[in-house]
Amino acid sequence: MDLQFEDHGGICVIRTLETELGADKSEQLREQLLAKLEENPNCALDLSQVGFMDSSALGALVAGIKSVRGRGHLRLFGLQPSIENLFRLTGMSRIFPSDSDQSSAVESIRKAMEAAA
């Protein structure tokens, strides 16, 4: 599994082109996500291509948000309806801030960074 990384003025946009994030990809997701968040704790994760996610992938995202707690911001964007529903049903929508698109996610992170400064 490959994640793509783009810098947007100090905020990293992480993209996955995967359509399914299941047990077969969750460990790679966790490793790559945590490595990037260690390098830059202010990231927006694009999940617009993902139509299926299981509990192991949710666990990888939880590890990511825990890793930035108190030192940065991780936001999700582009969630398809099936993924939004999964987040609502599991209560993850209370843990993961999300936006509809990349520009909103980047702007939300920028505002949070300015507020914390």
Average pLDDT over every residue of 39-57: 97
**pLDDT band at 96, cuts 50/70/90?**
very high
Give the CATH number for residue 15: 3.30.750.24
What pLDDT does residue 2 have?
Answer: 81
Question: Above 90 in pLDDT, residue 97?
Answer: yes
Q: How many domains does the chain have?
A: 1
- The answer to whether residues 75 and 108 touch, using CB atoms and an 8 Å cutoff, is yes
Q: Does position 1 have pLDDT exceeding 90, yes or no?
A: no
d(CA 54, CA 35): 21
Range of the domain at 43: 3-116
Give the pLDDT mean for 12-37. Answer: 96
- Enter the pTM of the model: 0.94
